A and B are shown apart, each in its own frame.
Chain A
């Protein structure tokens, strides 16, 4: 069974600085996808970034980028130029590939609570 581990329950960062959130996962699958979701106090789940495991290039989305290390099964999220609006819970999630069975199902880590301080 797949598992996702976020080892940092809480983190804080000063506005305009850079912060990195850690995520490791365990799987025997070769084809899969990884996601970071943000959950602000409004509780809405918002996609931050998506990574396809077969792509070696790290995904980026504006100030958000990932460091995907497939051999180490590591998928960290880097937030540059942190803003007050980045304050939220951040969840790392794993999904099997198209032919992996239980396809489409997300397996979530327990989350990291990020506070951006002025």
Chain B
């Protein structure tokens, strides 16, 4: 198993550009989520999904879109990048919601100029 994979590893964007961060898992996990990590802030939840076709907002959803058409993939879209979205983004997955251990991808570092 590859576990949770994320692409790209690093990306530079200009303000106003859009992009999609990819996340995939091969463990047949129902639950997937996106977090962002900023210095001194820990990790904060952006969006999550409890199964294909079902998504919901987390703590900091503004400026981000998600969809989940398959169990394996959970892409995160930045609609119009802003410098405040400069961060490290982590995707995570677990077998189901409610107590299961979440497994994290390696992260994507995003710099918005």
Interface residues on B, range: 20 to 34
What per-residue 1/0 map shows which CB atoms of A87-111 lie under 8 Å from chain B? 0000100011111100111111111
CB-nearest residue of chain A relative to B96?
A104
Q: Known contacts A91-B43, A103-B98; decide if A44 and B58 are in contact (CB<8 Å).
A: no
**Which of B13-21, B74-82, B102-110 contacts the other chain?**
B102-110
Tell me the minimal C-beta distance from A9 to chain B in angstroms. Answer: 8
Cross-chain contact A44 with B107 (CB below 8 angstroms): yes
- The B interface, classified by DSSP as helix, strand, loop or mixed, is strand
Q: Is the CB of A108 within 8 A of B106?
A: no
Q: Are A105 and B96 in contact (CB under 8 A)?
A: no
Q: Would you call B99 and A97 a contact (CB within 8 A)?
A: yes
Do B90 and A45 have beta carbons less than 8 Å apart? yes
User: Mask for A38-59, Cβ within 8 A of B = 1, else 0?
Assistant: 0000111111001010000000
**Interchain residue pairs with CB less than 8 A apart (23):** A42-B106, A43-B107, A44-B104, A44-B107, A46-B104, A50-B101, A52-B99, A91-B43, A95-B98, A96-B98, A98-B98, A100-B98, A103-B50, A104-B31, A104-B48, A104-B94, A104-B98, A104-B100, A105-B48, A105-B58, A109-B42, A110-B41, A111-B42
